[in-house]
Structure 1
C-alpha cells in the first residue's frame, strides 16, 4: 500500500497554460499569437538546452490547435523521419531537428519550400543550438535562420522553486523553502519531474499524517528509488 503512495505520477500533458514562462514571456506570447492568427511571420526556430521546455511548447501548441479544431502535425525527429506532403495542416511542428539524417534533412528542406510557396501553414522547428551552429546541410540551416529565432531560456532555481510553491499552494499545501532547495539538489531538475514529486510528497505526507519537512522528503526519495 505504501509503495503505491511513493509512485511519482507522470507529469500532466504539456499545454501552453501550464508552461512556466520565466524569461520566455515574449516567446509564449508569440505562440499564442500564432494560434490566434495574429502573427504575420510563418517560420520559427526555437533553440535551447535539453530540459528548457522546447518540446513542451511544441506539444502544447499542437494540443491547442486540436482544441480549436485546426490541424497541427507534430514530428519528434529521428534519423529516418519523413515529412508528409500534407497541404491541409495549419501548423507543422518539427522537434529536435538536429537528429535528422541526410535524407530527412532534404525532406525538411523541401517541406520548408512547400510551406513558403503555398503561403498558408506555419512551421516551427527546434534544435539545441542557434541555426548557424547546427550540423545540418547548409541550405537547410540557411532556411531555418530566415524566420524568427528564439532562445528558450531555462528557469532559474529561484523560478523553479516559485513554480513548485505555486503548484503546492493550488493543492492547499505550504511548501517550505528548504524543501524546495533540497529537491533541486537531490531530484531531477526538470520542472515536470519536480512538480510530480511535489504531488507525491503531498500524498505521502497526508497518508502518514506528517508535516512536510526535509527528513520526510529524504524518506520519500529513498523509498521510491
Structure 2
C-alpha cells in the first residue's frame, strides 16, 4: 500500500528540525535543552496518543533507539550512555527489569534515558520501582496536531519544495491520505518527484492519480 511513498520515507528521517511542533513548542524547547545536557535530570518521558510525535522525537534524539513494541524484553538494548526506549507500556517482565537496571546504570554514569509511552509513568502498568524511576525525571505530554496545524505544515513543506498547493488540494490530501504527519510529509515528497517525472503542475487530478497509483501498487 502506497509503496512509493513508503520508499520515500527515508528522505524525511526524523529530526528535531522537521518535527512539526504545533502546540508542543514548549515541550520541544525543554527536550532540546535536556538533550544539550544543560539539565541534570537522568530521564525524560514523553507521553501522548498515537500520532502525537513521541516516536519521531525519540528517533530524532540521536540516542540508541529501542522500540519495546518490537522488543518487549529489551534484548537488543545496548549499554549506551544515551538510550531511547519507545512504547515502554509494552515491556514484559524481563524488559521492565532491564529498563530498571538501565536507569540505575545511566544515573550512576551521568547518562541519559529518553522514554515514550501512551500515558504518564504514574498510570502505566509497570513495576512500582520502574514507575517511580521514570516518574522522577522530566515528564511532558505531546498534544496531537490539529487539522489546521497539519494543513499549515503541509503548505510550508510544499513551499520549501517550490510546490504550489491550493487550499483545495491540501483539503483533499487531509481527507484522503493517512493522517499522521510523517506519512503526509512523505506524500509531499512523492508529489514533488511525481510532478518532475510527469512534467506537470500540481493539480487535483494529478494528486488523485498519484494516490490511486500508490493505493493499487
TM-score range, shorter chain: 0.7 to 0.9
Q: CA deviation at 1:83?
A: 6.9
Q: Which residue of 1 aligns with 2:72?
A: 79
Q: CA deviation at 1:119?
A: 5.0
What is the TM-score normalised by the length of structure 2? 0.87
Question: For 1:87-138, what per-residue CA distance to the aligned partner results, in whole angstroms no more than 9, with x for missing partners?
Answer: xx4422111111111111111112222323x151121111111212212122
Q: Which residue of 2 aligns with 1:201?
A: 191
Unaligned runs of 5+ in 1: 1-5, 63-71
Task: Say whether the 8 Å CA contact 1:31–1:61 is kept in structure 2.
Answer: no
Task: Say whether the 8 Å CA contact 1:54–1:126 is kept in structure 2.
Answer: yes
CA distance in 1, matches of 2:83, 2:214: 39
Relative distance call for 1:84 and 1:161 in structure 2 (3 A) is closer
Relative distance call for 1:56 and 1:84 in structure 2 (3 A) is closer
Q: Which residue of 2 aligns with 1:68?
A: none
CA distance in 2, matches of 1:113, 1:44: 14
Q: CA deviation at 1:197?
A: 0.9
Does residue 92 of structure 2 align to residue 101 of structure 1?
yes
Relative distance call for 1:73 and 1:201 in structure 2 (3 A) is closer
What is the TM-score normalised by the length of structure 1? 0.84
CA distance in 1, matches of 2:128, 2:105: 18
For the aligned residue pairs, the C-alpha RMSD in angstroms reads: 2.0
The count of corresponding residues between Structure 1 and Structure 2 is: 208
Q: Which residue of 2 aligns with 1:216?
A: 206
Unaligned runs of 5+ in 2: none
Task: Say whether the 8 Å CA contact 2:22–2:149 is kept in structure 1.
Answer: yes
Does residue 99 of structure 2 align to residue 111 of structure 1?
no
* One of 172, 180, 183 as aligned partner of 1:190: 180
Does residue 22 of structure 2 align to residue 22 of structure 1?
yes
